[in-house]
Amino acid sequence: MDYKQSVEESFFVDDHCYYIGLILISTISILVSKYLVIVFSTARHHLKLSAIKTSEMAEPTMKEMNILILGETGVGKSTWINGIVNYLSYSSLLEAENGKLLSVIPTSFSVTNDDYEEVIIRTGNDTNEEVQPGYSSTQYPKSYIFPRGDTLIRLIDTPGIGDIRGVAQDKENFKRILDHLSYVPEIHGICILLKPNNARLTVIFQFCIKELLTHLHRYASKNIVFCFTNVRTSFYKPGDTLSVLKRLLSENKDVEISISKHTVYCMDNEAFRFLAAVKNGIEFSDYDRINFSTSWDKSVEEMNRLLAHITSLHPHRTQDTISLNNARKLIVALKKPLKISGSEQAFISEAITEFATFLRQSATTPYNDGMEDYLDHLIRAEQEKVTLGNDRRVLNSLKDMKSNYTHEVNILKESISSSSSNRQESSSERVTEFIDKLSKHKEAGAQLKETIDVVTSSKRNALTYLETRLVFIQRSNK
Ligand SMILES: Nc1nc2c(ncn2[C@@H]2O[C@H](COP(=O)(O)OP(=O)(O)O)[C@@H](O)[C@H]2O)c(=O)[nH]1
Ligand SMILES: [Mg+2]
């Protein structure tokens, strides 16, 4: 099949300079032998199928740079990606204003016009995004891939943590992120996005940062950078979030995550919002234009500095992070009573010891010790609502969640401490080997395989993988 047939949408940016072809290659895809069968799915489950040979998708001469973008819901992950696509396509805000708005991820936000009326601005259209204002937007992780010089950059947009649908949705979101990562063997940069002055809500902030670190292998700590969005009002500085962040990171004694010029970046996505508003007919003063133009320049400068830093890093092997999460989840799952004989139990115990050893040796932090405070905070807020007449369902489910979590943490603590006599070096290969042996176990295999398939992430299990490829073709007179 002709690769070009997969072009579903294309943008032409300022005919006189250059044009950009946006190739939407896949939405939900399932890997079948050497063909990538792509299922384009809308949220309403309309299906459209196309197939592309994976060999035709590969661009062997180009280097890869894979960047994972993490952060609280609403911090600006998706808008930043939209901004980057524009920064790489236009040389200034003015040029972008005269060209076509490039919006690869749909956004919706409101602005106030000169008559103090609220105007909803919408850009793009993608069923992976829930664009009702106030609702967590990005539903599944999705890779946005585009060339920059000799490098193919892959920005991985993710659903946020601190999802308004709650802790269970956060858990599901992390599972989706790990499933997505099973398709990306190496990650060069991990950008944790933050807002400059939201340390006021320390409990939530602490939970979010710890939740992110809990999911990362300690080797990934060298690839972490902190990117501050919404910084125009704090003069392009990280505000008081930085000191809270420093304190949190210093509490994590085992693994050093450095805060320095190389690991802190400050940008604002307002230039993209400005462009979207202009394209929707909102008028701005020259004064505003100057501010947004500065915002554009600063953000481009920070983007270039960030990409240069990430280029200098040794990539993180994604499998290490995936194995860490698999090991943690399997310790908890395998501790549940199974209908099996004594000799099988001995093998399971051996596997648990291996997983706990890996967790002890490799976790950035073995479990999120900010979770209980976070749940208490949610429980207190919900308790107030119940006092005002809300029913108790949410409150009860939060309480259940807290007792389940306490139970899980106890299992992890216990397994880690009883594994401490195991001096052997564990590895993600050993974890994978044990998972494999468990699922092929003579008697208990079928039962164990079911558990393994539900809790672990692997390319075999992950049926969901979304990506969009953008092809920038620059004319020589640019
Ligand atoms: N002022 C300002 N607003 C932003 C910035 N980044 C994102 N937003 C707005 O914040 C809201 C959430 O952004 P979004 O990119 O969807 O966040 P995500 O959940 O992290 O993907 C949207 O209304 C954006 O327009 C920023 O740097 N400055
Ligand atoms: Mg998003």
Three-state secondary structure readout of 79-123: HHHHHHHHHHHCCCHHHHHHCCCCCCCCEEEEEECCCCCEEEEEE
| CATH number among 3.40.50.300, 2.60.120.380, 3.40.50.970, 3.90.1150.10, domain 61-317 | 3.40.50.300
What is the tens place of the pLDDT at every residue in 370-420?
A: 899 999 999 999 999 999 998 999 999 999 999 999 999 999 999 999 998
| β 35-41/47-53 pair status | antiparallel
Q: Is the CB of 72 under 6 A from ligand 1?
A: no
Bigger pLDDT: 229 or 20?
A: 229
Mean pLDDT of 420-436: 91
Mean pLDDT of 67-84: 94
Q: What is the mean pLDDT of the chain?
A: 82
Q: Is 356 helix (H, G, I), strand (E, B) or coil?
A: helix
Q: What is the pLDDT of residue 45?
A: 25
Q: Is the pLDDT of residue 154 over 80?
A: yes
Closest ligand to 77 CA?
A: 1
**229 CA → ligand 1 middle, Å:** 8
Q: Is the pLDDT of residue 473 over 80?
A: no
Q: What is the pLDDT of residue 73?
A: 85
> Model-level pTM?
0.86
Mean pLDDT of 164-171: 78
With bands split at pLDDT 50, 70 and 90, how would you rate the model's confidence at 441? confident
Q: Is the CB of 234 under 6 A from ligand 1?
A: no
Bigger pLDDT: 370 or 189?
A: 189
Q: What is the pLDDT of residue 424?
A: 86
Cα 279–280–285 angle (5° rounding)? Answer: 75
Q: Is the CB of 75 under 6 A from ligand 1?
A: yes
**355 CA → ligand 1 middle, Å:** 39
Q: Is the pLDDT of residue 474 over 50?
A: no
Q: What is the pLDDT of residue 320?
A: 97
What whole-number distance in Å separates Cα of residue 353 and Cα of residue 265?
A: 40
Q: Is the CB of 124 under 6 A from ligand 1?
A: no
Q: Is the pLDDT of residue 11 over 60?
A: no
**DSSP class of residue 363?**
B
Q: What is the pLDDT of residue 13?
A: 27
Q: What is the pLDDT of residue 272?
A: 96
**459 CA → ligand 2 middle, Å:** 23
Nearest to 449 by CA among 320, 341, 334, 332: 334
With bands split at pLDDT 50, 70 and 90, how would you rate the model's confidence at 24? very low
Q: Is 159 in contact with 73 (CB distance < 8 Å)?
A: yes
- Cα–Cα distances (Å) from 43 to 21, 27, 130, in that order, read 25, 11, 9
Q: Please state whether 130 falls in left (phi above 0), alpha (psi between -120 and 50) or beta.
A: beta
Return the amino acid letter for 153. Answer: I
What is the tens place of the pLDDT at every residue in 230-246?
A: 998 888 898 889 999 99
Strand partners, 191: 69, 225
Q: Is 138 in contact with 160 (CB distance < 8 Å)?
A: yes
Nearest to 153 by CA among 211, 68, 75: 68
Q: What is the pLDDT of residue 181?
A: 94
Taking the CA of residue 272 as reference, the ligand 1 atom at the shortest distance is 25
What is the tens place of the pLDDT at every residue in 76-130?
A: 999 999 999 999 999 999 999 999 999 988 888 888 877 888 888 888 766 666 6
With bands split at pLDDT 50, 70 and 90, how would you rate the model's confidence at 15? very low
Q: Is the pLDDT of residue 48 over 50?
A: no
The domain locations on the chain are: 61-317, 320-455
**77 CA → ligand 2 middle, Å:** 5
**418 CA → ligand 1 middle, Å:** 45
Bigger pLDDT: 51 or 205?
A: 205
Q: What is the pLDDT of residue 421?
A: 82
With bands split at pLDDT 50, 70 and 90, how would you rate the model's confidence at 42? very low
For 218, other C-beta atoms within 10 Å of its C-beta total 20
